[in-house]
Amino acid sequence: MMSRKTRRLWLVVACGAGVSCATALMLVAFRSSLSFFLSPQEVIAKHPAPGMVFRLGGVVQANTVVMGTRDSRPYTTFRITDGQASIPVVFTGVLPGLFRQGQGVVTVGTMAKGDREFMADTVLAKHGASYMPAPVEQALRKAGKWNPKFGPAPNAATWDDKSPRTIEADNNG
């Protein structure tokens, strides 16, 4: 039988080893899998490096959704706007059922070369009771499009035509 001290030592050593392994794993994992959320305005301001995975969120701009087929795979192009800026998005795959114009969405992907369009590999449309993802809500608030204090979000279809600054114009000028 071991003494209480030895037993406690074993326990501390085991816990310490486990915790330090976990911390090391977490730090490594954090480095590779953290992704930032950017609104269209921030994308234009910050020009994220091509290849850096981030989340682009906003509202699907009305009359910009084009669906087509490329190599018998469905692809969709649309623009995401926060009312101040708008970014073209290319997505190959099946859109979630709740995807529609004027809908708040979050897309995950990278900027294509040339900073022209966002290549999304995931599109998330909110499945909750309120159809506005929280980061999008904040982006809209920052863009001055909506303050939650004054009631629910405006119908996005009514304001997304106000010729927001586009990434092409920004790059050219």
Number of residues that bind another protein (CB under 8 A): 50
Instruction: Please report whether residue 96 would count as binding another protein according to CB under 8 A.
Output: yes
| 127 in a known ligand binding site | yes
The helix/strand/coil state of 39 is: coil
Contacts to another protein from residues 152-171, by CB under 8 A: none
Burial class (CB in 10 A: 0-12, 13-18, 19+), 65: middle
Instruction: Please report whether residue 46 would count as binding another protein according to CB under 8 A.
Output: no
Among 40, 41, 43, 55, binds another protein (CB under 8 A): 55
Q: Residues 153, 157, 161, CA angle at the centre, nearest 5°?
A: 120
Burial class (CB in 10 A: 0-12, 13-18, 19+), 37: middle
Among 29, 45, 49, 52, binds another protein (CB under 8 A): 29
Beta-ladder partners of 57:
106
Among 129, 150, 172, 173, binds another protein (CB under 8 A): 129
Q: To 10 degrees, the CA torsion angle through 43, 45, 51, 53?
A: -50
User: Rounded CA gap, 37 and 58, in Å?
Assistant: 10
Q: How far is the CB of 38 from another protein (least distance, A)?
A: 8
Which residues of this protein are in contact with another protein, per CB under 8 A?
A: 1-2, 4, 7, 10-11, 14-15, 18-19, 21-22, 25-26, 28-30, 32-38, 55, 67-69, 72-74, 92-98, 100, 108, 124, 126-130, 133-135, 138
